Chain A
C-alpha cells in the first residue's frame, strides 16, 4: 500500500510542519527514509533546510537522490521545498564541491543585492502564464520564504519573487516541481497550492 503523500525523512528540521499541512487537508501522509516507500508515493515531498551541501550528502547517502531521479524518468510527481528545491539543480555556491542532482538546469547562488539575509519574510510571487495549474493559484499571492541562496536564472523557471533582484520562486518540468518558499507555512494560500498540487498529480498520473 502506498500513501498519497510521502515526505522524505532525511533528518532535516521541521518535519512536524511538513506533515501537519498535508494532514490538515485530509490526505494520507507519511514520513519515510525507506527508498522503496519513497519510490511508490503518489507524490514525494523532499523538504530541506540548512546547508545545501549537507542536504545533498544526506540525499545521496540515504539513496533518496536516486529515487528522485528514477521518479523523474518515470514521470512520477516530486515536490522539492526550499533547499529540497535547490538540490534539484546542477549545484550551488554554498556547496561548490558537492554536485547537485542536475535534474534542472541552473545554479544556486548567494542573493547578492538582497537588503538583508536570510530573506525571512512573506513575499509576492509572480507565476508564469504557462505554469502548471497548481502554481497558477499562487499568482500574485504572498508566500513565506526563508533563504540566503537562490536560483537567478533557469529555463525551468515557473515563478519569481523580487528581493533586491529577481529570484526563482518555483521551477520545474514534467512532474518535477521545486518551490523556494514554504507552502506548509504560507497560510491558506500555501495550503490551497498543496491541495491543488495533489489534485493535479492525481489527475495527470
Chain B
C-alpha cells in the first residue's frame, strides 16, 4: 500500500545543525549525530542532511559526518549540499548515504543528474528544488535560495524528471519557516507534471499540516524547525496521521 514518509531535515553548517527563517538568520540547533539518533528512535522514516557550509574546504568533513550518522542510523539517508560531480556522489554513497540531493549543480549542468543516475540508478538521485512565487508562476532559485534562475518550476520539474531524477524535494521559499503549512499549489503543479515521488518541504507549524500535506498526494513530508524546537514530536505526527485515516509507518513500527 502507498504510505507517506515523515522526514526530519538536518541543515548542517560546519558540523552543527542550524535553523533559520527563509534561508537566513541561522541559529545553532544541536549535534547532528545525536539529533539523527533521536529522530530515528521517535519514528522518522528517513533523514535528510543538507550541508549548507559556505566554504568548500570545510565541506570535506561532510563525508565523516555522514559516516558517523550512517554507523548509528539504519533508515534511508539522503545527503545534499555541494554535490557537483559524480565523485561527490560516490564519496557520499560510500560513506553511507542512500541518495544524494542535487540542487544548484543540476541547474548549472543537468548532465550531473544524468551521470549519477546512469552510474548508480535513478533511485540514488534526488533533485532538490527551491521555488518562490513570481506573479502567478513559481521561479526556481539556487545557492540556498539566494540566486534566481529565471526558470519556471513546471518546466524544471519535467526536465529533471526526464534527466533521471528518482525523487524531487521541493521547498516553498514563501512558506519556509512561516509555520503556515505546506504550499498546496506548488505540489499540485509538480504532481501533475512528473511521475517520480515528491517530498514536500517548507511551512510546517502544527500537527494538522502533516495531515493536510499527506492529502496532497506527495510521498514524503519534510520538516526541520518544528522537530528541532521540540514543538512537535514525530511519534505525535504519526499518531495524528493514523487517527486521520492516513497510511504511514507507525512510530513504533
Residues of A participating in the B interface, judged by any CB pair closer than 8 Å:
12-17, 20-21, 23-24, 49-51, 115-118, 120-124, 141-142, 144, 146-147, 162-163, 182, 184-191
A122 to B66, CA, bound (A): 22
> Which chain B residues (204-241) contact chain A, with CB distance < 8 Å?
219
Among the listed A117, A122, A124, which residue makes an inter-chain contact with B45, where contact means beta carbons less than 8 Å apart? A122
A-B contact pairs, 21 of them (CB 8 A): A13-B98, A14-B97, A16-B66, A16-B67, A16-B93, A16-B94, A16-B96, A17-B77, A17-B96, A17-B98, A20-B74, A24-B74, A116-B195, A118-B123, A120-B219, A122-B3, A123-B3, A124-B1, A185-B74, A187-B74, A190-B74
B113 within 8 A of A: no
Least CB separation from B122: chain A residue: A118
Q: Is the interface of A mostly helix, strand, loop or mixed?
A: mixed
Given contacts A13-B121, A121-B2, could you give 16 more A-B pairs where the C-beta distance is less than 8 Å?
A: A14-B94, A14-B96, A14-B124, A16-B66, A21-B74, A50-B124, A117-B195, A118-B197, A120-B123, A121-B45, A122-B5, A122-B45, A123-B3, A144-B76, A146-B98, A185-B76
Name the B residues within 8 Å of A117 (CB-CB): 195-196
B70 within 8 A of A: yes
B242 within 8 A of A: no
B23 within 8 A of A: no
Asked if B97 contacts A16 (CB within 8 A), the reply is: yes
Residues of B participating in the A interface, judged by any CB pair closer than 8 Å:
1-5, 40, 45, 66-67, 70-72, 74-77, 93-98, 119-124, 166-167, 195-197, 219, 249-250, 253
Could you tell me the distance in whole angstroms from the C-beta of B202 to the nearest C-beta in chain A?
20
Least CB separation from A115: chain B residue: B2
Name the B residues within 8 Å of A116 (CB-CB): 2, 195-197, 219
Asked if A186 contacts B74 (CB within 8 A), the reply is: yes
Least CB separation from B117: chain A residue: A50
Among the listed A14, A121, A141, A146, which residue makes an inter-chain contact with B93, where contact means beta carbons less than 8 Å apart? A14
Name the A residues within 8 Å of B94 (CB-CB): 14-16
Identify the interface centre among A142, A146, A147: most chain B CB within 10 Å of its CB: A146
Name the B residues within 8 Å of A146 (CB-CB): 76, 98, 123
Asked if A142 contacts B97 (CB within 8 A), the reply is: no
Smallest CB-CB A-B distances: 4 pairs: A50-B121, A16-B96, A142-B249, A142-B253
A84 to B75, CA, bound (A): 19
Asked if B120 contacts A49 (CB within 8 A), the reply is: yes
A12 to B118, CA, bound (A): 11
Asked if B71 contacts A141 (CB within 8 A), the reply is: no
Asked if A24 contacts B3 (CB within 8 A), the reply is: no
A190 to B98, CA, bound (A): 16
Asked if B74 contacts A184 (CB within 8 A), the reply is: yes
Name the B residues within 8 Å of A122 (CB-CB): 3, 5, 45, 249, 253
A141 to B250, CA, bound (A): 10
